[in-house]
Structure 1
């Protein structure tokens, strides 16, 4: 005879706003290219304006026009009731 195992899980609420104690990070990667992407990256910056300046500078140097932008924020998960 087999044994039965029960697991209980908690409901979690994730707040939509970012954690006020951490800074968001922004990153851009140049994806311009026919055969392959350029791949130049801004690295992590902490303001949208700083990211725009990096994109503008890279575009001015290379004439590349396509970028993938990523925004990361730390959010809080709050445990709720067990179910």
Structure 2
């Protein structure tokens, strides 16, 4: 790498960041959402999805029904919740 003092190009700059602590709290007014996608299959995934559900029991029921109908037994599950960031102090 050429020396910036001799080439007239600016050198690399260093930036230092302070750590900012943030905690995240679940919003009690927002419903969580649960979703599952069937990933059973050899050449390709089944891909059937439960859609967004607001109760974990409903998701379990959907998985059980899909498994009973198809014999598929592998699923990806996604759980989402609305969070509120609560800023902390600079460190």
Q: Are the aligned partners of 1:10 and 1:80 in contact in 2 as well (CA < 8 Å)? A: no
Whose relative contact order is higher, 1 or 2, with alpha carbons under 8 Å and at least 6 apart? Answer: 1
Structure 2 residue runs of 5 or longer lacking an equivalent are 1-9
Greater C-alpha radius of gyration: 2
Q: TM-score, normalised by structure 2?
A: 0.73
Are 1:31 and 1:39, in contact at CA under 8 Å, matched by a contact in 2? yes
Structure 1 unpaired stretches of 5+: none
State the aligned residue count.
80
C-alpha separation in 2, matches of 1:78 and 1:12: 9
Runs of 4+ in 1 over 2 A off after TM superposition: 8-12, 79-83
Q: Which residue of 2 aligns with 1:11?
A: 20
Q: TM (normalized to structure 1)?
A: 0.79
Query: Which whole-Å CA distance do the structure 1 matches of 2:19 and 2:29 have between them?
Result: 25
**Distance in 2 (alpha carbons) for counterparts of 1:47 and 1:12:** 32
Name the CA distance, whole Å, in 1 between partners of 2:67 and 2:27.
33
Distance 2:89 2:23 in 1: 14
Following the alignment from structure 1 to structure 2, what is the Cα–Cα distance between the partners of residues 81 and 66? 43
